[in-house]
Chains A and B, each alone.
Chain A
């Protein structure tokens, strides 16, 4: 079966750095997405990786290793507004998105 694993919840301190991991087992691979979802709101796109390596976008970076079925989202200089759930999703061989359950990130002052 297809499976996306990510931690349920993480806590970090304002101004610090946090890494959210995602491991996947899917039928085929056509890219990995990270979305941010604030409580009670819709998911919004953060990043897309299809080749191995690091993609940097401001305070957020996303890394992919296809051979290991592994990705992480790195958030630097954490701000209170970064408190949200972070969803990992993999596009499978049928171009369907398979979603992880999300990681709830709690930022403390």
Chain B
């Protein structure tokens, strides 16, 4: 099992460019999440999904869009990148929501917006 994979691993964008980050999981998990991690701050939830075809906003959704067309994939899109979106992006998945909800993380995508 590969677990949670993310592509690409690194990316440099210019302001205003767009891109899509892909997350894939092979654990048949219902729940998937996109976080960003910035120095000195905790992980912040961007968007999440509770199942195929569903998405919901997290703490910091502005400037991002997501889609969950297939259960195993969760895409994060940046339509017009800004320097404030320079960050490390982590995708995670979990089997279910509820009190015990261990999340499994992908290796991260390091994005720089110039």
Interfacial chain A residues near B102, Cβ < 8 Å: 33, 45, 48
Q: Is the CB of A43 within 8 A of B43?
A: yes
B99 touches A98 (CB 8 A): no
| A8 to B10 Cα, complex, angstroms | 26
Cβ of B17 under 8 Å from chain A: no
Most buried by B among A30, A42, A101: A42
**Using Cβ atoms and an 8 Å threshold, which residues of chain B touch A48?**
100, 102
Please report whether the interface of chain B is mostly helix, strand, loop or mixed according to DSSP. loop
Q: Which residues of A contact B97 (CB under 8 A)?
A: 95
| Alpha-carbon gap, A20 to B102, bound state (A) | 20
In the bound assembly, the distance between CA atoms of A48 and B45 in angstroms comes to: 20
Is A97 within 8 A of B103, CB to CB? yes
Residue of A nearest to B44 (CB): A99
Interface stretch among B69-77, B78-86, B105-113? Answer: B105-113
A26 contacts chain B at the CB level, 8 A cutoff: no
**Contact residues in B for A99 (Cβ distance below 8 Å):** 42-44
Which B residues touch A101, using CB under 8 A?
Answer: 40-42
Q: How far is the CA of A101 from the CA of B106 in the complex (A)?
A: 19
Give the CA-CA distance A41 to B4 in the complex, in Å: 13
Binding site for B on A (CB under 8 A): 4, 8, 30-31, 33, 41-45, 48, 50, 87, 89, 91, 95-102
Taking beta carbons and an 8 Å cutoff, which residues of B are in contact with A?
A: 4, 40-45, 58, 90, 97-108
**Across chains A and B, which 4 residue pairs bring their CB atoms closest together, nearest first?**
A99-B42, A42-B105, A99-B43, A30-B99
